């Protein structure tokens, strides 16, 4: 074991604390009661999304330091409908996310993959540890389960009644969850959402109390590709549409600026619409690292 591996192992054994402090180690996705790990516990996930090509110059202002759009800039808007999370004692939640195809260039690292610009989750419990512990850009929103029609499948996200995101997949008519396929499905190594070889990158920013405008933490992070064990039960690809609805401050007082920036991105061409159903072995993302 080299020094880097030894350090990672030592860090992984330390208890994790977050606010409110003083009540002992926190419980959450990276540590359960008594320090329990939830890695490898199976959950059911349906992922649906639409990707579109946009203008390079439109994405540049939305990128943090070190990031730039790829030569063929693409935006993917997708949602994960999750059930049976062991770390939530069998409960689930839904989350939507917006990904930009991007390259990170730092002093030591150069990584190409998907920059996760923003995530919305339907439960506060995963938002808090995700933001504080690993720097994921999580916000809260109402994300109901999929709306199924005879010739399409739809999903949306809203806050206090204001629907700011709508996605529709044309020609997709979902049937009941295929439980009969679970036992015999082959286990493969994929990234979240079913991607095989793409890194997922984030930018962690925590403001410094009292020194407003300064940061306690400001750095890019990356999750390695293919870091989940999955059993893919169904997949579909076709066409679809995605729409962000412009908001007033009165509609979304804490993130109207996020939605309006995304609503302003030109949709030059819808390149893909997809659906996947899979059993996913939980990964607590301790394998995420800082990009240098």
pLDDT of residue 281: 97
Greater confidence (149 vs 247) lies with 247
Domains of the chain from N-terminus onward: 43-290 (2.40.400.10)
pLDDT of residue 10: 36
Of 196, 208, 185, 154, residue with least CA distance to 279: 185
User: Peptide bond before 192: cis, by omega within 30 degrees of 0?
Assistant: no
> Tell me: the pLDDT tens digits for 87-116?
999 999 999 999 999 999 999 999 999 999
Q: How far are the Cα atoms of 91, 162, 259 from residue 246, in angstroms, in the given order? A: 33, 10, 7
pLDDT of residue 13: 72
Rounded CA separation 243/168 (Å): 9
pLDDT of residue 1: 35
Inform me whether the pLDDT recorded for 229 exceeds 70. Answer: yes
| 8 A C-beta contact, residue 142 and residue 94 | no
Rounded CA separation 55/208 (Å): 34
User: Peptide bond before 20: cis, by omega within 30 degrees of 0?
Assistant: yes
Inform me whether the pLDDT recorded for 60 exceeds 50. Answer: yes
In the chain, pLDDT over 90 holds for what percent of residues?
A: 90
> Tell me: the pLDDT tens digits for 151-202?
999 999 999 999 999 999 999 999 999 999 999 999 999 988 767 779 999 9
- How many CB atoms sit inside 10 A of residue 238's CB? 14
State in Å, rounded, how far the first CA of the chain is from the last one: 23
pLDDT of residue 5: 38
């Amino acid at each position: 074991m080299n020094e880097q591996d030894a350090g990672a192992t030592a860090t992984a054994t330390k208890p994790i604390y977050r606010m409110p402090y003083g009540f002992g180690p926190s419980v959450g996705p990276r540590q359960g009661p008594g320090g329990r790990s939830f890695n490898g516990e199976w959950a059911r996930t349906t992922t649906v999304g639409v990707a579109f090509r946009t203008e390079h110059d439109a994405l540049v202002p939305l990128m943090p330091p070190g990031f730039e759009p790829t030569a063929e800039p693409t935006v993917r808007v997708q949602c994960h409908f999750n059930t049976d999370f062991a770390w939530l004692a069998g409960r689930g939640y839904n989350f939507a996310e917006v990904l930009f195809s991007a390259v990170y260039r730092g002093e030591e690292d150069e990584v190409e993959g998907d920059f996760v610009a923003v995530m919305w989750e339907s439960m506060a419990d995963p938002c808090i540890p995700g933001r504080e512990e690993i720097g994921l850009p999580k916000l809260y929103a109402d994300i109901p389960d999929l709306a199924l029609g005879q010739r399409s499948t739809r999903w949306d996200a809203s806050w206090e009644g204001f629907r700011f995101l709508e996605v529709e997949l044309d020609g997709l008519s979902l049937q009941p969850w295929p439980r009969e396929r679970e036992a015999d499905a082959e286990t493969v190594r994929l990234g979240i959402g079913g991607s095989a070889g793409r890194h997922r990158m984030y930018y962690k920013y925590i403001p410094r109390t009292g020194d407003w405008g300064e940061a306690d933490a400001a750095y890019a992070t990356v999750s390695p590709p293919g870091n989940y064990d999955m059993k893919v039960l169904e997949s579909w690809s076709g066409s679809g549409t995605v729409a962000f609805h412009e908001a007033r401050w009165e509609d979304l007082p804490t993130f109207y600026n996020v939605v309006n920036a995304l609503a302003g991105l030109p949709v030059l061409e819808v390149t893909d619409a997809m659906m996947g159903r899979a059993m996913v072995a939980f990964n607590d993302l301790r394998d995420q690292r800082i990009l240098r």
